[in-house]
Chain A
């Protein structure tokens, strides 16, 4: 499995994401935001957490217009895999690779803590390492993680089984407790919680590691 981790000015989870992928056996290339192409043979793109471009204008808005995002869009359009975590999820909604948007947390506070997530579907390479309905503990760390989409979009996500994760206790006001969603072809995942921060015993939790292992298993020969 060859992973491209995108680095924007202000990304701060890029190296953590690379470590989690390497631990699962992946080859990782770091790709700068000004590059307009991905390295040859990339299976999956990781869009990391952080504060790309200082969160100016809207979280993820400027990053979504960066040269590398054009390449990420083309990669996804070819059926490539993409995972966007936290700010990466915000970037994927701003590029409209995923529907909806992330609003300011309903309680207005930045929240940094480990939360319970329910795995809402096991039908994706990202979630196949968990049983459907499994409960896992993954940290969140965000100010703008309040997932919003109009009623029609939410109904479509629910109907197509594209909600990947739900909060056990909704921390931020997200509609339908949504913590992560999948694209129509189930190959693009956006999620606010940080699986890469629960991927090593030293993190205090390892529930995120199964995601990277499942990806490595599924994409080993891809």
Chain B
């Protein structure tokens, strides 16, 4: 089984990298981009028996810094 963890800066936390990407896209002539947020995807290969609750604990303790980041977990 795999878990896919998406980590994003929380709303309200300035994302200067996303802003730089937005500026670059604008400079390239792409219009209509009102905001860019950059995050990361962490894929975990899991042995049988590892639960959603286990992955949640991993996110809380290491994969995300919940002071500044939110996370979303997909299990498949």
Q: Chain A residues in contact with chain B, CB under 8 A? A: 57-58, 61-62, 65, 93-94, 99-101, 103-108, 146, 148-149, 173
A8 to B9, CA, bound (A): 27
Q: Is the CB of A105 within 8 A of B16?
A: yes
Distance (whole angstroms) from the CB of A154 to the closest CB of chain B? 12
Contact present for A57 and B14 (CB under 8 Å): no
**B residues in contact (CB < 8 Å) with A:** 9, 13-14, 16-17, 20, 61-63, 65, 67-68
Whether A148 touches B62, Cβ cut-off 8 Å, given contacts A104-B17, A108-B16, A108-B20, is: no
Chain A residues touching B, majority SS = loop
Residues of A within 8 A of B67 (CB): 93, 99-101, 148-149
B59 to chain A, nearest CB (A): 12
20 contacts between A and B (CB under 8 A): A58-B65, A61-B62, A62-B62, A65-B61, A65-B62, A93-B67, A94-B65, A100-B67, A101-B65, A101-B67, A101-B68, A103-B16, A104-B17, A106-B16, A108-B16, A108-B17, A148-B13, A148-B68, A173-B14, A173-B16
B63 to A106, Cβ gap below 8 A?
no
